[in-house]
Amino acid sequence: MYEGCHKYRPFPPIDLPGREWPGKTLQKAPTWCSVDLRDGNQALVDPMNLEEKLLFFQTLVEIGFREIEVGFPSASETEYEILRALIERDLIPDDVTVQVLVQARPHLIQKTFEAIRGAKNVIMHFYNSTSTLQRKVVFHTDMQGVVDIAVEGARLIRRLTEEEVARSGMKIRYEYSPESFSGTEMDNAVWICERVMEELGATPEKKVILNLPNTVEGSTPNCHADQIEYFCRHLKNRESAIISLHTHNDRGTAVAATELGLLAGAERVEGTIFGNGERTGNADLMVLAMNLYTQGVDPGLDFRHMNHIREVYEKCTKMKVHERHPYAGALVFTAFSGSHQDAIKKGVDFMAKSGSPYWEVPYLPIDPADVGREYEPVIRINSQSGKGGAAFIMQQNFGFTLPKAMQPEFGAIVKAACDEAGRELKPQEVFDLFDREYLQIHRPYNLKKYRLYEESHAEGEPAVVHFEGNLRFHHEDHEVNATGNGPIDAFFQALGQVGITDYRFVSYQEHAVSTGADSKAISYIELRTPHGESVFGAGLDANISMASIKGIICAINRAKKKESAGA
């Protein structure tokens, strides 16, 4: 029982017959506005200093943001100084518009106009709170009182803008936010925004940005979308407004609310990269952009250097991007589980062979290379991992393509080693296991010297291959010398001379591996033991025939080892 729930009221649904947004899809990117340096910054334990803000600003520009809210210059001297530094050091590219936030209060508006002197492109963003709750408990006023504040603010902003434009030619656009829009009666939200638009002289050529904040997220995303569609339907002069979203993440659905809000008619989005912002944060613009990207829509923002962007973010905000953060977290392209690894391995092989123009790899919604993560291990090995994982590591990191039939055997060896270590194994450790298990096994049979040559024979005649060697076992050296119709046959005949007769050849695969400057051949041999069990061996040598012979010895040695372990 969790009876406390009764003190909360459910969010009242919006009456919106024939709502259209559920049938729409996102087909183009909105205009993005980063509020990292304002909403994000005001939520930090230690707000960014000048150098951090400048670095963050430059990174936002590099990502592709063309509208950036840089702060609240009337709120503090630091904020004021930061804006002045951006302007005076000429750090704002000509195609970037800086946005400044101000409450709809005359002295703060005046101060904000002083702060923007010398800038080329500015969005003057003013707001006042309109919600039912704030009117009741904070302002003790009715809706008319709230409308009056906004209208007076708009009037002053228009006058100061006209003066500034006449003086300097600065390009100034207007943005108004009925703060706590989603907690406001929709008809009141429409009313106040229409009055502000009138006061600012909005036209289709000189649109006003109406930013409709979900200041505190209090509903499921569909209700937010209903509010946006309702607002768009009822606003007079809709064509003279740009509808902007600004969601917060109190219920953990800011990204979803933004996406549905776009379906519902909004055309601009405010938020922050990685979702920093007041309380639970703002909508994460990186996630929104990458979500569009994965639907085949160019987001107009570039996250190809995700690790660098994440580093700048962490340095400036002193916050951490979670390991599971979509697209950016350290572990989001990593599979530990066996079945996922198998499917990824098959998907990667499929992509290499098929030349498909589409990304078709199970469990990897995007190509890690698209966010600069191509050199990071997708498959990592722990005790959850299976045969496919170990095989993938051997292939991707070391160029060894284990035959399918051999993968379960090596997978079990790797799994046992993980269990024993009680931790993840690094790729080199996986290779070392392979090396120890297959390549460095020289007992009980150790082939010390060998010579292999083919007799010259007339075309069409069967080949005769000679194997001569020295096989050491039971502390003695045994000379062997035999012929066969090929190297493997000759070697089996030679083994027969020292009493090794009951192994049956099952299968053979080989390929070249480049190890540093030189190239070697690796053979994988499967034998049937005298007890009818299957056993694998591997041999690595510059000579392809010797690689197979080493593989056979390896398989026999491994069978003997198993026998004595079982005895």
Judged by the rule CB under 6 A, the positions of this chain that interact with ligand KIV are: 39, 101, 127, 177, 179, 211, 213, 215, 246, 248
CA 560 to chain centre: 48
Q: Quick count: other Cβ atoms within 10 Å of Cβ 550?
A: 27
Residues 426-445 that bind Zn ion (CB under 5 A): none
Kindly tell me which of 253 and 557 has the beta carbon lying closer to ligand KIV.
253
Stretch that binds Zn ion, among 37-45, 51-59, 121-129, 319-327 (CB under 5 A): 37-45
**Is residue 514 exposed (0-12), middle (13-18) or buried (19+ Cβ within 10 Å)?**
exposed
Stretch that binds Zn ion, among 15-23, 33-41, 187-195, 402-410 (CB under 5 A): 33-41
Residue 128 contact, options Zn ion, ligand KIV, none, Cβ 5-8 Å cut-off depending on partner type: none
Q: Shortest approach of Zn ion to residue 420 CB, angstroms?
A: 52
Helix (H) / strand (E) element for 28: namely none
> Which of ligand KIV, Zn ion, none lies near 537, with the C-beta cut-off 5 to 8 A by kind?
none
Question: What does 127 interact with, of ligand KIV, Zn ion, none (CB < 5 to 8 A by kind)?
Answer: ligand KIV
Cβ atoms within 10 Å, residue 497: 14
For ligand KIV, the closer CB: 211 or 240: 211
CB of 7 to ligand KIV, least distance (A): 24
Name the one range near Zn ion by CB under 5 A: 35-43, 86-94, 95-103, 120-128. 35-43
Neighbours of 563 (CB within 10 A): 14
CB of 101 to ligand KIV, least distance (A): 6
Nearest residue (CB) to ligand KIV, 41 versus 59: 41
Nearest to 102 by CA among 163, 154, 165, 164: 154
Could you tell me the two tokens for 350? 């499929």
CB of 249 to ligand KIV, least distance (A): 11
414: number of Cβ within 10 Å:
26
Strands 171-179 and 208-214: parallel
Looking at the Cβ atoms of 272 and 523, the one nearer to ligand KIV is 272
Q: Which is nearer to ligand KIV, 42 or 446 (CB)?
A: 42
- In angstroms, what is the minimal distance from the CB of 38 to ligand KIV? 8
Taking the least distance from each CB to ligand KIV, the nearer of 225 and 364 is 225
**Smallest gap from residue 383 Cβ to Zn ion (A):** 44
Nearest distance, CB of residue 118 and ligand KIV, angstroms: 25
In this chain, which stretch among 36-44, 311-319, 449-457, 530-538 interacts with Zn ion, using CB under 5 A?
A: 36-44
**35 in Cβ contact with 277 (< 8 Å):** yes
Q: Rounded to the nearest whole angstrom, what is the least distance from the CB of residue 215 to ligand KIV in the complex? A: 3
Two tokens at 51? 């150098």
d(CA 143, CA 133) in angstroms, rounded, equals: 11
Residue with Cβ nearer ligand KIV (283 or 402): 283
CB count in 10 Å sphere of residue 296:
8
- Report the distance separating Cα 111 and Cα 509, nearest Å: 78
| Least CB distance to ligand KIV at residue 180 (A) | 6
Alpha-carbon torsion 135, 138, 141, 147, what sign?
A: negative
* From 5-13, 38-46, 79-87, 255-263, span contacting Zn ion (CB under 5 A): 38-46
285 or 425: whose CB is closer to ligand KIV?
A: 285
Among 36, 39, 175, 437, binds Zn ion (CB under 5 A): 39
Q: Select from 31-39, 111-119, 249-257, 448-456 the region that touches Zn ion (CB under 5 A).
A: 31-39
Q: Which H/E stretch holds residue 322?
A: none
Which segments of 169-293 does DSSP mark as H helices, in order? 186-200, 221-234, 254-263, 285-293
Residue 459 amino acid letter = E
Per-residue DSSP letter, 96: -
Tell me which of Zn ion, ligand KIV, none is bound by residue 312, counting a contact when its beta carbon lies within the kind-specific cut-off of 5 to 8 angstroms. none
Amino acid type, 61: V
Beta carbon nearer to ligand KIV, 153 or 469: 153
| Between 182 and 545, CB nearer to ligand KIV | 182
Residue closer to ligand KIV, measured from CB, 248 or 345: 248
Q: How far is the CB of 513 from ligand KIV (least distance, A)?
A: 58
Report helix, strand or coil for 342.
Answer: helix
179 binds, among Zn ion, ligand KIV, none (CB under 5 to 8 A by kind): ligand KIV
Shortest Å, Cβ 397 to Zn ion: 46
CB of 277 to Zn ion, least distance (A): 6
Among residues 254 and 364, whose Cβ is nearest to Zn ion?
254
Shortest Cβ 33–ligand KIV spacing (Å): 10
Sign for the CA dihedral angle at 477, 483, 486, 492 comes to negative
User: Judged by CB, which is closer to Zn ion: 211, or 291?
Assistant: 211
**Does the protein bind Zn ion through residue 36 (CB under 5 A)?**
no
Q: Residue 246 contacts by C-beta under 8 Å, 6 or more apart in sequence?
A: 35, 177, 211, 212, 213, 214, 215, 269, 270, 271, 282, 283
Query: 194 contacts which partner out of ligand KIV, Zn ion, none, CB within 5 to 8 A by kind?
Result: none
Q: How far apart are CA 263 and CA 454, in angstroms?
A: 75
If contact means CB under 5 to 8 A according to the sort of partner, which of ligand KIV, Zn ion, none does residue 222 touch?
A: none
| Residue with the shortest CB distance to ligand KIV | 213
Give the 3-state secondary structure of 381-427: ECCCCCHHHHHHHHHHHHCCCCCHHHHHHHHHHHHHHHHHHCCCECH
Contacts of 134 (CB under 8 A, 6+ apart): 179, 180, 183
490 with 482: CB under 8 angstroms? Answer: yes
Number of residues that bind Zn ion (CB under 5 A): 1
Tokens 């000759």 belong to which residue? Answer: 490
> Footprint of Zn ion on this chain (CB under 5 A)?
39
